[in-house]
Structure 1
């Protein structure tokens, strides 16, 4: 009898194990990335600012190093208590703030530190110690200004970004339709109930026909963040208020958020659509669950575009709500006219947008995909985690839909 399923190499070792070895080593290395990243974030600026020729007095060097070590130990600890099983808001605020602080300090220690040191050397300014200390104070000054400005940007009511979007299949009766997009409000550990109310007041000044929220309402359960989300019930639209889930809903009882939005008068477009009609013309407004929904294990939750369009007239233009921009491949394949998304925050803290771009086709703004499909990616209305926005301002978006057949008045 010939045996199968146990292929061995010349030295008697299973061939399958030999083939799997490189992958196993890679997997083992990947496990260390979450450990290595915080070490690099804290160790690199510590070395650049304190130990590259500054020759600080010993007490200064020791105290500065101790602060970096305290941050290295304290940040993961606070993040774990804040965002882990305990869900302690105070710890989350500390951990998130430390993360934003060290990301900015790391970025500018590396970039400004290297460039400024080179410029000072070329200009022959002072000796090595003088140049090193100038670099330290310059980096600390720039980081302080960016963090103060970034905090103010994160906590302010977003500016309204207005743009006209022409949809070739849009009927003349719908020309001038006003669509307001808010997304990624991320109500969380910092109580932003007053901010939420002011955002909704701003939305109400825009006289929208349709108001859309494309997910990531909050970090935490609907019961826990209800007070911050409650002002969403005051939003006005002449036709409809519609909502789709984001990935963060699936970290914290997504069905609870769907139920709360329904209670607040918003229509959760969970793989379904409605018709927006005006002037004898119609627009299909469809929505899908976030692409992470199916892996959440929550019954009935998944991104199902065919289901969202089921029963819709294929000759009508379609406006699709999908939380993540990367859903655009499926949207383009179905001939969607316009997809509205969020998720990216525009990177939130520069230069994080380069990492976002690895995972998403766009970071912000209007882009074309295929022959027909447009994608608008919002930078988000709120912020996630670190309470800072650096070179990535938040927004409330007013999109005025235009028909190539010309305006008919609004």
Structure 2
């Protein structure tokens, strides 16, 4: 909670101070200079009106939270190019009649957020090849997390993305939590579950809860129990601190979310499993690496972080100990860890620090780590 207080505090300060700064900066565009002449106070008022109008238009076309994201990116680029222009003026001793700071900042904001929108809305495939000393033969697993049904895409949109995953012909599909959002609609999540029920993965579909799935933060037209029930009706295995041996070859262990105080310690959850079998763990939040690396787990799959979402938030979250890893692969002791950036998003329309993805993991017997993380 203290991390969110810090983030919200920083956003508030950025909005307040940024509004003052941008109002002054926007007043330096040529058109406003011509309209207001030497009346600096009028240019600042006009600049404020332009900033306010831009924010309101962005909020109307997207949402308030996305308007804030657009505002903060614009502010950041104005500050960056303002510094660059100051340095250049000091070096050359000359200014320019063209307001390069403003034009370059606007262009950089448009290009960055256009790429961020594309990165969020267009799902890519991310592949890993892992090896293990255990006798598993070969296993092709598909994994995704953070679909937040109804946010980035609805039930039909999810079904289209699912077709791409099924085309990879994985042996098993694993879902790492936040399947739905606090504001998802029943018709969308039911359609998404039906799409999962119509797939043909030899070892089925396995799912763990994320922090949004329980729907504790908003009213919606279905409950967590409804989610469990509809998933079960469609043949989806809901795992809540449970383990299953599949085909006598490997285990799937699904943990309750970190936000659930009743969840078991990883050592207790895996206690009693055959250590000669490969153990694959689903854990929505990547925040228990030390204990999981000391356990019998061979592979831990997580989501939750959205890959850090915006640069450089992935590094900030790591420094604040919000999670053990924002994105990608690492190996600790004898355990492989993979964090996905998520197949979708929640309320945001942009990913500037990562891309939406589903994950394909090919696991085979061999020398551990020799092909990990490709």
How would you bin the TM-score normalised by the shorter chain? 0.7 to 0.9
| Structure with greater helix share of residues | 1
Secondary structure of residue in 2 paired with 1:165: strand
Matched, 1:62 2:45: yes
Partner of 1:188 in structure 2? 150
CA RMSD of aligned residues (A): 3.2
Question: CA-to-partner distance for each residue in 1:311-366, whole Å, 9 max, x for gaps?
Answer: 42133221100011112222122131110011111112222222322311111111
- Is the contact made by 1:245 and 1:254 (CA closer than 8 Å) also made in structure 2? no
Partner of 1:223 in structure 2? 186
Moved more, 159-168 or 250-259: 250-259
Secondary structure of residue in 1 paired with 2:304: coil
- Is the contact made by 2:149 and 2:189 (CA closer than 8 Å) also made in structure 1? no
Secondary structure of residue in 2 paired with 1:98: helix
Aligned pair count reads 347
Aligned to 1:239, which of 192, 203, 212? 203
**Higher RCO (CA < 8 A, seq sep 6+):** 2
Secondary structure of residue in 1 paired with 2:288: helix
Secondary structure of residue in 1 paired with 2:337: strand
For structure 2, list consecutive stretches of 5 or more residues without a partner in the other structure.
37-41, 217-222, 369-374
What's the offset of the Cα at 1:31?
Answer: 11
What's the offset of the Cα at 1:135?
Answer: 0.8
What's the offset of the Cα at 1:256?
Answer: 3.3
- Is the contact made by 2:284 and 2:302 (CA closer than 8 Å) also made in structure 1? yes
Larger Rg computed on CA atoms:
1
* 1:118-137 pair list within 5 angstroms: 118-127=87-96, 130=97, 133-137=99-103
Aligned to 1:259, which of 224, 229, 236? 229
Moved more, 63-72 or 342-351: 63-72
Question: CA-to-partner distance for each residue in 1:131-164, whole Å, 9 max, x for gaps?
Answer: 7x211111111101122221122122x1111120
Secondary structure of residue in 1 paired with 2:95: coil
Aligned to 2:324, which of 361, 370, 388? 361
Q: TM-score, normalised by structure 2?
A: 0.81
Aligned to 1:167, which of 132, 151, 155? 132
After superposition, the Cα gap between the structure-2 partners of 1:368 and 1:112, relative to the gap in structure 1 and judged at 3 Å, is: farther
Partner of 1:4 in structure 2? none
Aligned to 1:275, which of 245, 263, 282? 245
C-alpha separation in 1, matches of 2:5 and 2:253: 42
Partner of 1:374 in structure 2? 336
C-alpha separation in 2, matches of 1:215 and 1:43: 35
Partner of 1:345 in structure 2? 306
C-alpha separation in 1, matches of 2:214 and 2:291: 21
Q: TM-score, normalised by structure 1?
A: 0.75
